[in-house]
Structure 1
Amino acid sequence: MENPDASRLTGAVQELASQVVSALSGGDHSEAVCRPAGAPGDEGLGLAAIRVLGADVLLPGVMSGRTPNAEDLAALEKAVVTFPPAPDAAPTSVWSHWAMTRALLEQGTSAVASSAQVQEPDTVWLDRAPWQLLTHQLAVLGALCVPGTDCGVARAARHRPVDVARGFVRAVRRRDWLQAAGAGRWLAVLDGVPTTLGLDAGLEFVSFMGGTDPRVTLHVRAAQLLRAGTRV
């Protein structure tokens, strides 16, 4: 039986991703994408959705070169405070939280983000990962892939472009469109990607096949913009 809470969270994440995609696709980038933060009396659901999508809630501002919307910054900060990673949290959760905190610090608007809080987690777990796991983890951490990205996760990806390309192909063959889109986002910024991969066509195919999930569309659109080196 499907967990109703999990289903509601999935719906909230998809709705939030749709708002980000709308802004990336030519909407008003000054508009907040994190509204409403949740249904009346259910703000926690909206904040949980922000925590899942992570720093990508600021992506329209980041990709346009403008300061992100103040409402989005405030909502992201609240999600950071409300959902810190547990002591035994998975590395991807720790890194996602780090990315959110760093994004707030870079905007200079956060009362909770400090230099100590944005010290990078380690990447030993990623450096030693087989290519299948590497691709999966990079896809989960797609929100770290933004213009000028430079962190441990990005450096790990840069050292293994062929492995990420292999993972992209594997995800497509397995019809795992979300993983393929996330991997494609990283491939858009990596040097040494095999030209035989046909990344542009691959991204279009992933968008066509998996576009009913706005999270897929978000990653594909981000990848296309990164690959073109354009601002939205």
Structure 2
Amino acid sequence: MEQSGTAALLQGAVQDLSSDVASALRGGGHAPVTGGPEDGITVAAVRVLGADLLLPHLLARTSPPPDTLEAFRLTVKTFPPRADAAPTVVWSHWAMRRTLRRFEQNDGLTPAAGEGAEPDAAWLDGATWQYLTHQLAVLAPLAVPGADSAVARAARGRPVDVARGFVRAVRRRDWQQAAGAGRWLTLLDGVPDTLGLDSGLDFVELMGGSDPRVALQVAAARAMRRSGALV
């Protein structure tokens, strides 16, 4: 029962943070995130969102509130990937470290010095378009204008496959995957005009937007299209 209650608290915290980030990406307020070592739920929720917690500040080129940055820093320190962690976990942590360095060293405006070597991305080599889309959706926080990585290069090399994956996710009513894939597609050249990405994102938001994590990804895609900024 206690474990179930903790899971419910974590789910609620993730939804609240996702709603805050989505609101900020739409131009609304972005409430500071507070939490210390004793607040395991907040730290775990920040870990689920990953680098997206600071995305509104990255796109707007603003400094996050100190409490938010400290919660982010604490999460990076508290949740290093294990030696046997899945590639998506390793990459998510790497994205958080890269984002943290940008704000600590350069106010988030330019890539930070000493970002460190990228994790291995060989698991994406030769991936089917279905699997590629699934993995990209999980790693949607890496889809940021101007932020290069091996994962981003894999996506740029297969825009038609990502578009196919987006359509498949919509047909399967997998709104989180569709929203994550749609976010990547906003950054890719060579996406077929017949896809109708803007209308597709509207549909994903209509059908799945009650899920704050779907709303976050759709808001991110639109904010990146509006900004066109290199971060």
1:129 CA displacement: 1.4
Aligned partner letter, 1:88: D
Q: Report if aligned partners of 2:50, 2:141 keep a CA contact under 8 Å in 1.
A: yes
Q: For residue 27 of structure 1, what is the aligned residue in structure 2?
A: 28
Q: Report if aligned partners of 2:26, 2:223 keep a CA contact under 8 Å in 1.
A: no
Alignment of 1:55-70 (within 5 A): 55-70=51-66
- Structure 2 residue 87 is matched with structure 1 residue 91: yes
Alignment of 1:1-232 (within 5 A): 3-28=4-29, 31-32=31-32, 34-35=33-34, 37=35, 43-108=39-104, 118-229=116-227
1:6 CA displacement: 2.6
Worse-superposed segment, 190-199 or 117-126: 117-126
Specify every segment of 5 or more residues in structure 2 that has no aligned partner in the other structure, as ranges.
Answer: 107-111
Higher RCO (CA 8 Å, separation ≥ 6 residues): 2
Aligned partner letter, 1:67: S
1:116 CA displacement: 6.4
Quick one: distance in 2 between partners of 1:47 and 1:140?
Answer: 19
Q: Report if aligned partners of 1:61, 1:69 keep a CA contact under 8 Å in 2.
A: no
CA shift digits 1:117-156 (9 cap, x unpaired): 7320011001221111111110011111112121111001
Quick one: distance in 2 between partners of 1:96 and 1:24?
Answer: 20
- Total equivalences in the alignment: 223
TM-score by length of 1: 0.89
Matched residue SS, 1:108: helix
Aligned partner letter, 2:72: L
1:227 CA displacement: 2.2
Q: Report if aligned partners of 1:165, 1:193 keep a CA contact under 8 Å in 2.
A: yes
1:9 CA displacement: 1.7
Quick one: distance in 2 between partners of 1:42 and 1:202?
Answer: 42
Worse-superposed segment, 65-74 or 15-24: 65-74
Quick one: distance in 2 between partners of 1:48 and 1:184?
Answer: 26
Q: Report if aligned partners of 2:51, 2:95 keep a CA contact under 8 Å in 1.
A: yes
Quick one: distance in 2 between partners of 1:166 and 1:7?
Answer: 34
Aligned partner letter, 1:176: D
Quick one: distance in 1 between partners of 2:146 and 2:65?
Answer: 20
CA shift digits 1:5-64 (9 cap, x unpaired): 3332222111110111122222245x52x23x38xx961011000001001110110111
Q: Report if aligned partners of 2:140, 2:183 keep a CA contact under 8 Å in 1.
A: yes
Quick one: distance in 1 between partners of 2:78 and 2:114?
Answer: 19
